[in-house]
């Protein structure tokens, strides 16, 4: 029995709590993208229905926790999910750097998305914060992907020929 939804729920609640509690520095365009990293992990490592479910609910939760209008983050995460799904064959399945690579692009993209569709973020502040967003996104991407993969292996959502292989159930031919 796979425990995808309980793991997704646990990751989402913890990431939302930590993201809400983290302070927002003036030199950053947005808060650290923990929830975006969880949605990116599911877009990369799960089948399409679960990836879209994660993007939809994580986007709604991000909007609620941040006080943003509802569909702003949801639409961004659904677009990001589509982009990740289209390039996921080029990203190694067993490397933690994939979270860094994805969030180096996704975090500044999310900051620009917010600046365009929400306003309230000055373009000068947004542009200054893009480098910081990329760096923080890389760190958060690595950490969140590491935790997600660890929880998946702990819950039995991954299997392999050898213990510790970490091959997702839907990708194995066993």
Q: What is the C-alpha to C-alpha distance for residues 43 and 76, in angstroms, rounded to an integer?
A: 13
Domain 4-159 adopts which CATH fold?
Arp2/3 complex 21 kDa subunit ARPC3 (1.10.1760)
Q: Are 16 and 78 in contact (CB under 8 A)?
A: no
Residue 76 has pLDDT above 90, yes or no: yes
DSSP string spanning 5-53?
Answer: HHHHHHHHHHHHHHHHHS---TT-SSS--HHHHHHHHHHHHS-HHHHHH
DSSP SS3 for 159: strand
3-class state of residue 167 by DSSP: strand
The pLDDT score that the predictor gives to residue 174 is: 44
| In the chain, where the domains are located | 4-159
Of residues 98 and 169, the one with the higher pLDDT is 98
pLDDT at 170: 54
80 is written with which tokens? 């990001």
**Is pLDDT of 122 > 90?**
no
* Exposure string over 7-26, b if 16+ CB within 10 A, otherwise e: bbeebbeebbeebeeeeeee
Mean pLDDT, the chain, whole residue set: 81
pTM: 0.84
According to the model, what pLDDT value does residue 38 have? 93
| DSSP code, position 168 | E
**Length of the chain, please?**
174
Q: pLDDT value at position 155? A: 82
Least confident of 106-110, 118-122, 144-148: 118-122
Query: Residue 41: pLDDT band by 50, 70, 90 thresholds?
Result: very high
């Amino acid at each position: 029995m796979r425990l995808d939804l309980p793991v997704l729920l646990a990751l989402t609640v913890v990431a939302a709590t930590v993201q809400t509690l983290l302070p927002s520095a003036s030199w950053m365009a947005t808060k650290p993208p923990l929830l975006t990293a969880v949605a990116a992990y599911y877009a990369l490592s799960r089948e399409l229905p679960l990836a879209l479910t994660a993007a939809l609910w994580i986007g709604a939760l991000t909007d609620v926790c941040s006080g943003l209008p509802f569909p702003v983050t949801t639409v961004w995460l659904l677009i990001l999910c589509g982009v990740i799904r289209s390039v996921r064959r080029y990203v190694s399945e067993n490397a933690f750097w994939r979270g860094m690579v994805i969030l180096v692009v996704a975090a500044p993209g999310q900051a620009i998305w917010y600046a365009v569709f929400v306003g309230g973020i000055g373009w000068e502040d947004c542009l200054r914060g893009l480098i910081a967003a990329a760096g923080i996104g890389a760190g958060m991407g690595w950490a969140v992907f590491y935790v997600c993969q660890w929880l998946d292996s702990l819950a039995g959502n991954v299997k392999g020929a050898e213990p510790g292989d970490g091959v997702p159930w839907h990708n194995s031919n066993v």
